[in-house]
A and B are shown apart, each in its own frame.
Chain A
């Protein structure tokens, strides 16, 4: 590669980040809001083309890392820049590609919304933040992008902010993510203290600082600092906490189902394909930091989340909630892969999952869109997201049906799809991992197997309930109505995504994940040998049982006569989402509310009371001084004046102007003087 080349790619990458951001800037500045869709889509399309270009030129090449000085504090200069390696280019293509399709889909889906220009602006901000996140070479910049992603997701979840549930959900998502962000920040502090830099390449590169730091007799020693070894674990857990919040893992998963209050296209882009992947991405980026303890925590969290979310998804009736829990479950799978050291498998599953989950959401959006039209046109009253109101729609909306079917099969992981490749990659790696550990750890791969069968069940249930059997809504409303399939802007993105859910995009051989180029692009080459029986047995076992599960599901939900008891303990446990919301309500929300009320009372009664008391004392004092002023000081002055006036009035009577009066007065004075003089002489 020539010397000028890396700079070219870095500049192009910067342009790719800035283009969607321009759409957001335009929202802030422009008065004329028409045509915002055009700018947003042009921006993201160019970003996508640039990403493809960078991808095709740098995949499996030497990584590119360019930096400039950012700021200097004391003697430390912060350098920021762009890091282009396999992980970031893969994410770039994924983010821009999926965003582009969702943008196109949104043209039709959001057509009639009065605040549509905001929607495009927010999407632009989100895409820019996400691209910055994947390309940042510095954990501080990554953190900033991370926050931006959280913020734009808050804006988008609460896009229909007049709906109370939407604004509540937006707040919930934001607060949950905040909790994770604290962890991320603590992790940053620890890393900076230990290594004096936040540069990803310096920290986590081939011979980076993290790898060269050693743990020696309970001390974690780096080239510049040393601290107790527990801090290594704490740093790992702290970063993982950030990922837990972003990727909706237990125990911070409850925001994601609520986030379904946003527009479905947003759910598709953010809560299935990109933003939630940020947590997995972060774990992959800083993977060398994690020690065995943290990896075990990650494994267990991922496994538990996958199992929990899958069991919840079994009984939900809101189509978007089923998909939301499915997302949580699949993210759990990715985390599990990270925990067992299969970073490549996790990222591979992230990539394949992005496509089929995005498609599932878009298809769900198409259903909701069609039903909403019906509801509006005929002025009916029913829940447009409830799968109990659907059924038999495969003939009415064939494109939606077939695309969703492909995505579901990919999610289940049947052969010929992308999901088959990535899921088996994780499962097989899990079995290999357990083999090298104690017996108790075999619970991990078997639970993962169970989760994949549960996945087969819940997604089959969704498909069968929505597309097969009879349209249950027609029972309630007798008149015949028709549903139309989606407009072209929605149809084509779905078809493209459906094609991307199939194997050719990821691997030349539909049955062997070992040939996948994404897996080969990441380091773990030795594990890609078909070294043991797992590579044959597991896919066969998974798929056989999955198909059996699907058949059972078909018998239950499509054939009449099979009714399921839906009020036993387990059913309710699952339907109420393991009561996590209730537990959090009792453990966190209620105490916080009570505390807030107490503070409010304190504020009202004590602080305000003191202020009011001071105010009242001031009033009283001023009243007193006003009284003193009026009745003592003014009165003294006034009375003196009055006295002078009285004296004047009195004496003016003597000034009669008559000569004879003056004469009398004079005479009286003279007489008085004489009399006094006479008597004083006598005395």
Chain B
């Protein structure tokens, strides 16, 4: 049986990769991918910790909901990216700085 720590380590590595992608990539699609990584790290944690709830399998159910929600959010995010591209002719997040004063 694979111990819990391994899952948590994998999950942490996934989260860090996602975080790095979100903070550093020059392409909004890649940023979106990074978000998916972090989301999946969280889902992996839900699945791993569900071994303490064998009767209801609450963790696994929550993971399924999260996957569905993630799919929905990706759809919305892609739509946003499309609109951003229409307006700015780029999807590099470092060039979209109209929030500045």
Contact = CB atoms under 8 A, between A and B. Distances in A.
B1 to A, nearest CB: 31
Nearest to A663: B23
A663 B99 CA distance: 14
A652 interface: yes
Contacts of B93: 658-660
Nearest to B22: A663
Top 4 nearest A-B pairs by Cβ distance? A657-B100, A657-B97, A657-B99, A655-B101
B83 to A, nearest CB: 15
20 contacts: A655-B99, A656-B97, A656-B100, A657-B96, A657-B97, A657-B98, A657-B99, A657-B100, A658-B99, A658-B100, A659-B96, A660-B22, A660-B23, A660-B24, A660-B31, A660-B93, A663-B22, A663-B23, A667-B19, A667-B23
A664 B23 CA distance: 7
B37 to A, nearest CB: 15
Interface residues of B, number: 13
Contact of B94 (A652, A655, A658, A667): A658
Contacts of B24: 660
Interface in A130-179: none
Given A655-B101, A660-B24, 15 more contacts: A652-B101, A655-B99, A656-B97, A656-B100, A657-B96, A657-B99, A657-B101, A658-B97, A659-B93, A659-B96, A660-B23, A660-B31, A660-B94, A664-B23, A667-B19
Contacts of B23: 660, 663-664, 667
Contacts of A657: 96-101
Contacts of B96: 657-659
Interface residues of A, number: 10
Contacts of B100: 655-658
Interface string A484-521: 00000000000000000000000000000000000000
Interface string B64-101: 00000000000000000000000000000110111111
A652 B101 CA distance: 8
Contacts of B97: 656-658
A657 B94 CA distance: 9
Contacts of A652: 101
A655 B99 CA distance: 8
B100 to A, nearest CB: 3
B19 to A, nearest CB: 7
Contacts of A655: 99-101
Contacts of B99: 655, 657-659
A656 B101 CA distance: 8
Contacts of B19: 667
A70 to B, nearest CB: 93
B75 to A, nearest CB: 20
Interface string A621-664: 00000000000000000000000000000001001111110011
